[in-house]
């Protein structure tokens, strides 16, 4: 029966999320249970597209991405897909009336990754919009559970939150991007000009994003606020660690937060949540 297949599809998306990101999975488990499968569905869709362009080097990535995109639109049109990740995604898109233009914008950013380039300010902003800001908006559609007024009110902060997560990921993955993929998303930033002055400007930009994103987090419905706040605290901790890391180290290792520190962040975030001390 179709309901069983849909359930299995959402489980596939959940497994994908849990295997690829323990931190993000932890945040999802702290939002209202009825919303969790839908955030898993979004993550599964985004993760698979990103895997195609970032890691499938021994395959024809252009062909694979084209096929994935075609299957995505087919799933949305036919309201079913034999790809369980896409089947759960199309269900979520329809249930929460996620604008297809958000999906189109995301796909355009994934297509940008197929051709390594030196990003200028315009391309950087375009990529951030598609790879991160619209993902924040898709999540917000679920968090507000159909409340259009709240969605419009929190839209700017949701975009900043998606952007800041992506920018921190850029810094965390700088070694891999620069040395393995021959790319840097930050405008005019290369291994040769990774000066402390240039990094300071990037840090200031990200600090501002964090501050603006926080304003929206505290206004989220209680059903999702704690889980999003935890993800925010984790990324802020990771960013602070990156700021204390030399540029040489950033190009030689991937900065991470040890598991014991993640659970300490969880404990502190939970106490703040219980005391309403956001």
Q: Provide the 3-class DSSP secondary structure of residue 97.
A: coil
The pLDDT, as a whole number, for residue 87 is 98
Residues 6 or more apart from 168 whose CB is under 8 A from it? 206, 235, 238, 239, 242
Q: Which of 71, 95, 119 is the last residue of a domain?
A: 95
Q: Provide the 3-class DSSP secondary structure of residue 224.
A: helix
The pLDDT, as a whole number, for residue 251 is 77
Nearest to 217 by CA among 206, 209, 226: 226
Report pLDDT digits (tens) over 117-134: 778 899 999 999 999 999
Note whether 148 and 278 are same-domain residues: yes
| Residue 256 domain boundaries | 129-278
Distance CA 137, CA 139 (A): 5
Q: Is the pLDDT of residue 273 over 70?
A: no
Give the mean model confidence (pLDDT) for residues 82-100.
97
Note whether 77 and 33 are same-domain residues: yes
Q: Is the pLDDT of residue 263 over 80?
A: no
Distance CA 174, CA 184 (A): 7
CB count within 10 Å of CB 22 equals: 11
The sign of the dihedral angle between the CA atoms of 127, 163, 122, 192 is negative
Q: Is the pLDDT of residue 80 over 80?
A: yes
Q: How far is CA 71 from CA 49, 87, 130, in A?
A: 12, 10, 19
Note whether 136 and 243 are same-domain residues: yes
Note whether 61 and 177 are same-domain residues: no
Distance CA 64, CA 52 (A): 7
Note whether 43 and 159 are same-domain residues: no
Q: What is the mean pLDDT of the chain?
A: 91
The pLDDT, as a whole number, for residue 167 is 96
- DSSP secondary structure code for residue 58 in this structure: T
Note whether 65 and 150 are same-domain residues: no
Q: Provide the 3-class DSSP secondary structure of residue 209.
A: helix
- Ordered DSSP codes for 136-177: HHHHHHHHTTT-HHHHHHHHHHHHHHHHHHHHHHHHHTHHII
Report pLDDT digits (tens) over 197-235: 788 889 999 999 999 999 999 999 999 999 999 999 999
Q: Which of 69, 95, 121 is the last residue of a domain?
A: 95
The pLDDT, as a whole number, for residue 115 is 83
Distance CA 264, CA 10 (A): 30
Q: Is the pLDDT of residue 274 over 90?
A: no
Helices (H), 56-147: 61-78, 84-95, 100-112, 121-128, 134-143
Q: How far is CA 54 from CA 51, 57, 67, 97, 111, in A?
A: 5, 7, 16, 29, 11
Note whether 217 and 83 are same-domain residues: no
Q: How many domains does the chain have?
A: 2
CATH of the domain at 142: 1.10.600.10
The pLDDT, as a whole number, for residue 143 is 97
Query: pTM of the prediction?
Result: 0.92
Report pLDDT digits (tens) over 136-165: 999 999 999 989 999 999 999 999 999 999
SS3 content of the chain, % helix, strand, coil (to 5): 75, 0, 25
């Amino acid at each position: 029966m179709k309901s069983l297949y849909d359930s299995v599809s959402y489980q596939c998306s959940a497994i994908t999320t849990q295997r690829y990101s323990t931190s993000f999975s932890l945040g999802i488990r702290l939002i209202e249970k009825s919303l969790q499968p839908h955030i898993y569905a979004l993550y599964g869709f985004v993760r698979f597209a990103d895997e195609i362009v970032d890691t499938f080097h021994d395959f024809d990535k252009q062909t694979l991405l084209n096929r994935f995109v075609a299957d995505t639109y087919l799933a949305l049109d036919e309201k079913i897909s034999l790809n369980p990740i896409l089947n759960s995604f199309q269900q979520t898109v329809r249930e929460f009336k996620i604008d297809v233009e958000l999906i189109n914008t995301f796909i355009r950013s994934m297509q940008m990754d197929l051709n390594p380039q030196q990003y200028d300010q315009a391309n950087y902003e375009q990529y951030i919009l598609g790879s991160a800001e619209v993902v924040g908006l898709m999540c917000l559609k679920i968090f507000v559970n159909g409340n259009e007024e709240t969605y419009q009110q929190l839209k700017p902060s949701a975009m900043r939150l998606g952007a800041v997560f992506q920018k921190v990921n850029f810094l965390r993955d700088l070694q891999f991007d620069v040395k393995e993929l021959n790319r840097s998303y930050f405008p005019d930033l290369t291994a040769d000009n990774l000066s402390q002055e240039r990094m300071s400007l990037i840090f200031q930009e990200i600090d501002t994003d964090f501050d603006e994103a926080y304003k929206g987090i505290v206004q989220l419905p209680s059903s999702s606020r704690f889980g999003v706040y935890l993800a925010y605290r984790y990324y802020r901790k990771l960013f602070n660690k990156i700021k204390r890391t030399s540029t040489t180290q950033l190009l030689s290792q991937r900065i991470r937060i040890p598991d014991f520190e993640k659970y300490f962040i969880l404990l502190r975030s939970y106490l703040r949540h219980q005391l309403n001390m956001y």
